[in-house]
Amino acid sequence: MLYDQLTSTPLGQALMTALVSMLPVVEIRGGLPYGVSLGLPWYFSLAAAIVGNMLPVPLIILFARPFFNWLRRKTKLGELIGRLEKRAFKKAETVRRYELLGLFILVAIPLPGTGAWTGSLVASLLDIRLKRAFPVIFLGVVAAGIAVSLITHVFLLFV
């Protein structure tokens, strides 16, 4: 099976860790422990998870608003898009208040509803340019990765 072949080598394990970390909601919170569970050392798992989590960021920042506008015009998903934007704007209050520090905090806290996807969407909706948002989101992902690494390590001590 392809999955078994991929996860039988460290490179394949790192690739799968990056792919899992690219998923919305799962992100680094799920990708990093997944990599460790495959047998990757925590530091390789952390690196792969950071890379995977960061890959969608530029696309979300650059294209979320135009894509949402296109969906509103061309499909019947306007109500769904409106709800998604409303949830993102609720998260945006912290970013509006504290600017880039708020964006960092939104990304760095490894809880559901936070992370690189949410931070990128908020940056897009607030018109924060890619060159300003990307480094802050990267630092937030690294901070979240360190927190998840520590949590994973402590969990493994007790299992």
Per-residue pLDDT of the chain (159 residues; tens, 9 = 90+): 788 888 889 999 999 999 999 999 999 999 999 999 999 999 999 999 999 999 999 999 999 989 888 888 878 788 888 888 888 888 888 888 888 999 999 999 998 889 999 999 999 999 999 999 999 999 999 999 999 999 998 887 787
pLDDT value at residue 2: 80
pLDDT value at residue 85: 83
* Integer-rounded Cα radius of gyration of the chain: 17
pLDDT value at residue 79: 82
Per the listing, tokens 């992370």 go with 115
Domain that holds residue 45: 2-158
Number of domains in the chain: 1
pLDDT value at residue 97: 87
CA distance linking residue 150 with residue 123, whole number of Å: 28
CA distance linking residue 32 with residue 149, whole number of Å: 7
pTM of the model: 0.90
- For 140, residues 6+ apart whose C-beta sits below 8 A from its C-beta are 103, 104, 105, 106, 107, 108, 116, 119
Say if CB 56 and CB 116 are below 8 A apart.
Answer: yes
Per the listing, tokens 């937030």 go with 140
pLDDT value at residue 145: 97
pLDDT value at residue 96: 87
The size of the chain, in residues, is 159
